[in-house]
Amino acid sequence: MPPTSGIPPTDLEDLWERLGRIERRVRHAVALRRDTDPQPDDPFRGQYLTPAAAERILDSRDAFLPVPVPASAQGPGATPDSPAGGRIAALAERFGLVEPDVDLLLVAMAPDIDARFERLYGYLNDDLTRRRATIDLALELCGLPAAGSGRFRFSPSAPLVAAGLVEVLEADRPLLSRVLRVPDRVTAHLLGDDEVDGRLHGLVRVAGPEEEPEKAPAKAPEDGPDLCRTTLRVVAALGTGSGLVHLLDRGGDPGRLAADALLAAGLRPLVVDVAALATAPDPVRTAQILATEARLSGGGLVLGPLEALAPEQPKGAGVIEGLCEAVGGGSPLIMYGKKHWDPLWAAESPVTVHVLPPDPADAARRWHRELTAAGSSTGLAAGTAAAGARLTDATRAYRLDSGQIRRAAAVASRLAALESRPVEAQDLRTAVRAQNGAGLARLARRIEPTVGWDDLVLPPSTRHQLSDLALRARHREQVLGRWRMRPGGGRGRGIVALFAGESGTGKTMSAEVVAADLGMELYVVDLSSVVDKYIGETEKNLERIFVEASDVNAVLLFDEADAVFGKRSQVKDAQDRHANVESAYLLQRIESFDGIAVLTTNLRANLDEAFTRRLDVVADFPVPDAQQRLALWERCLGTEIPRASGLDLRTCADRFELTGGSIRACAVTAAYQAAESGRPLDTEQLVSAVLAEYRKLGRLVLDSEFGPWLERTRRGD
């Protein structure tokens, strides 16, 4: 055969040579089979099995015979029978099996271990196409009555079937003629394989000491007394009753805590992907497989956050109930979420444990460990990636779980490795922003801050209020979380600020500066996507925004907030009543918010007075004075635009009372005029831009303000 086009001849020659070797092996096997077959030319071969042929099968090789081991290779005190029954005994104990159940399981499993049993079972079934044990055959081989209690060992509630150890197939047939099958995972477990069931691929991951060594409390006493105390409480809860535990997330890391507790109890943590479970074709069947896997491996299940299952919906509640029922106390089940447990979710209520925010010192230690591990894997020198005091300060405002810290540390280390330098604070901030989900970006406009404190021109009092906002954001976990300085009333650990001042005084820019100082992104809420004419839809839209904002490290900005957070009025009609309902909802929701929110308004008097008590910081943005206006002119014009020698910015600052936003607009307009004229920017062009801004704002043009430039600009017009 000529070589195939595009394939080197040497590759084809190697392929043909290997296929030839396989063919020779097949020919040899056929020859051996014919030598031992008394009727090699039987035309009905394979369609029946004679008693003599059954005897020959029984006399052939035995897959169950152990490989002989020399006595010298056995350990002291070992006997040939010592390993027997180890896993079988453990399986019987975990699943509550009695001796007849074990015998029935082994009968059903035999064809999966030795292919001879396929033909033998076909012979005994009087049908070579049915090569697995039927219920009748299994009961016969185990000496159990088919017409008595034996058949009930394969009922849906029997241990073998309920636990998923044996599957009863062909439900349309009579009970005794139904075929039995043992899942591959059960067979593999008894043969010594501890890999997770292949049917759970992409649904479960094993969190063990080799993945995150610091998770085991016994090996990490530096995690802090509070964390160890909470972990031990969860361990104690696992040993009571059904082992069902609910971790109520109050800003901590419940997923990590659940793995801690299972490891401390000597169990294998099986972390379930909630999104994959919710979209499984048959969640009830998947829950059964999860429960079987947990029992087989001697582990416990970790499920969360429960909000991803939408437990308030029948389907989500059904998944939770199905998993709780499938586990049935056979193995621990730890579920976590931010919502309180609803008794309607399952027949049995769990033990609830509150998970508080981690101590800042514990978070710093985790950053140090993860950065050190990530640095070694990316090739950074030892200690290069370790988190020092400056890096600890850079991450103080973030709320991250252990998985997010691990991923952020890996990204930061890779960014530093690209330039062969130590990890810097900016690397951590970039890596943390990469952990923010895209959910909030679909509801608000995302801005990556590009300004800093030096770009602000504000009175000292306003700058102090902005600094106070950043300070609160950095230390809120310690003050509100660990010290519990905001107890009771369902109050969250959020920070809410109000920026009040005229348009153009720098409110939005200040929010961007605060976000940049905290290393976060700024999300500006588009009120047009929030306010809805239909009753109740505005509250739903705001709720989605608040929920998404609570889970990201970002600053949420409500621009022109008085449009949503307005005063409640006297009820005169149905429209007033529903408007008051919206305001009342916002009063409650803003108080339970766990993120960082900034409200801006041009008219502070339009806000409901009840919001004032719920605000942490109120910053007033006055119209800039002459000195501040001069600084604004200098910053807005920058250093790149050519300036005429007679450009008089001092006079412009003294004469024209403009806000920062208007000064920036005037600077841009003047720059366009200078570009068109081809000469450096002069005072006349600047005043012409101011005049255009006055007209745009509808302000009076007075001779006392413009002086001699007014007539010049008019002649220019």
Residues 679 and 534 in one domain: no
Residues 607 and 638 in one domain: no
> Among 11-15, 291-295, 476-480, where is mean pLDDT lowest?
11-15
Q: What is the pLDDT of residues 278-337, one digit of tens each?
A: 888 888 889 999 999 999 989 999 998 998 898 888 888 999 999 999 898 889 999 999
Only one residue has tokens 């005897």, namely: 55
Q: Tell me the one-letter amino acid at 696.
A: K
Residues 677 and 611 in one domain: no
Residues 466 and 519 in one domain: yes
Residues 559 and 612 in one domain: yes
pTM: 0.74
- CA-closest candidate to residue 663, choices 653, 675, 672: 653
Residues 507 and 599 in one domain: yes
Residue 102 domain flag: yes
Domain end call among 306, 339, 355: 355
Residue 157 domain flag: yes
In the chain, what is the straight-line distance between the N-terminal and C-terminal CA atoms, in Å? 89
Residue 479 domain flag: yes
Count of Cβ atoms closer than 10 Å to residue 257 Cβ: 27
The predicted pLDDT at position 68 comes to 47
Spatial distance between the Cα atoms of 473 and 519, rounded to a whole number of angstroms: 11
- In CATH, what number is assigned to the domain containing residue 641? 1.10.8.60
Chain Cα centroid distance, residue 361: 24
Residues 533 and 633 in one domain: no
Q: Which helix (H) or strand (E) holds 167?
A: strand 167-168
Domain end call among 355, 370, 396: 355
Kindly tell me if the per-residue pLDDT of 577 is higher than 70: no
- The contacts found for 530-533 with CB under 8 angstroms, 24 or more apart, are 530/564, 531/563, 531/564
Residue 428 domain flag: yes
Q: What is the pLDDT of residues 428-447, one digit of tens each?
A: 888 888 888 777 877 888 88
The predicted pLDDT at position 578 comes to 55
Residue 86 domain flag: no
Count of Cβ atoms closer than 10 Å to residue 85 Cβ: 12
- In CATH, what number is assigned to the domain containing residue 504? 3.40.50.300
Q: Which helix (H) or strand (E) holds 598?
A: strand 596-601
Q: Which helix (H) or strand (E) holds 543?
A: helix 537-550
Residue 638 domain flag: yes
The predicted pLDDT at position 80 comes to 38
- Total of domains in the chain: 6
Q: What is the pLDDT of residues 502-548, one digit of tens each?
A: 989 999 999 999 999 998 999 998 776 677 777 778 778 888 888 88
Residues 136 and 242 in one domain: no
Domain end call among 156, 190, 224: 190
Residues 328 and 466 in one domain: no
The predicted pLDDT at position 428 comes to 87
Q: What is the pLDDT of residues 173-227, one digit of tens each?
A: 999 999 999 999 999 998 888 899 999 998 999 986 534 433 333 333 344 444 5
The predicted pLDDT at position 1 comes to 46
Mean residue pLDDT across the chain: 81
Residues 637 and 586 in one domain: no
The predicted pLDDT at position 8 comes to 62
Q: Where residue 31 falls among pLDDT bands split at 50, 70, 90?
A: confident
Residue 266 domain flag: yes
Kindly tell me if the per-residue pLDDT of 693 is higher than 80: yes
For 58, residues 6+ apart whose C-beta sits below 8 A from its C-beta are 116, 120
Mean pLDDT of 254-263: 91
- Higher pLDDT: 120 or 162? It is 162
DSSP string across 469-537: HHHHHHHHIIIIIIS--S-STT--S-EEEEEEE-TTSSHHHHHHHHHHHHT-EEEEE-GGGT--SSTTH
What is the side-by-side order of every strand in the sheet holding 617-621?
444-447, 521-525, 554-558, 596-601, 495-501, 617-621
Residue 81 domain flag: no
Only one residue has tokens 């820019």, namely: 509
Residues 279 and 341 in one domain: yes
141, 133 in Cβ contact below 8 A? yes
Domain that holds residue 596: 453-621
Residues 224 and 176 in one domain: no
How many degrees, rounded to 5, is the angle at CA 659 between CA 654 and CA 660?
Answer: 105
The predicted pLDDT at position 70 comes to 43
The predicted pLDDT at position 506 comes to 92
